[in-house]
Amino acid sequence: MPKAIWNGAILAESNHCEVVENNQYFPADSINKDYFEESNTHSGCPWKGTASYYNVVVNGQTNKDAAWYYPEPKDAAKNIKGYVAFWKGVKVEV
């Protein structure tokens, strides 16, 4: 089962991930919300749309913008609406 781990904590775990551009996108209900705080960061993708970000906070350490999601993706990426992906040192085990 794919899982995302950072700083010793399991951030997300699910058998229902979507893979897009070699990234595991975890369903929103599979993330441990205790470790996530909203970020004001946004970025754009020509075919997926506008991404929003979360800071990941574990044991008092913050990994800024380490998770992203598409709240309102374009039609081509509607399968990942609300799903969460990771980078910046978050280990995703498949």
> CA 21 to CA 76: how far, in whole Å?
13
**Domain ranges (residues) in the chain:** 3-93
Q: Among 32, 92, 42, 34, which Cα is nearest to 70's? A: 42
Taking the whole predicted model, whether its pTM rises above 0.85 is answered as: yes
* pLDDT, position 22: 96
Q: Does domain 3-93 have CATH number 3.30.70.2860?
A: no
* Tokens at 72, concatenated: 């309102």
* Tokens at 62, concatenated: 């913050």
Q: Cβ(72)–Cβ(79) under 8 Å?
A: no
pLDDT digits (tens, 9 = 90+) for 45-71: 999 999 999 999 999 999 999 999 999
Across the range 21-28, mean pLDDT stands at 97
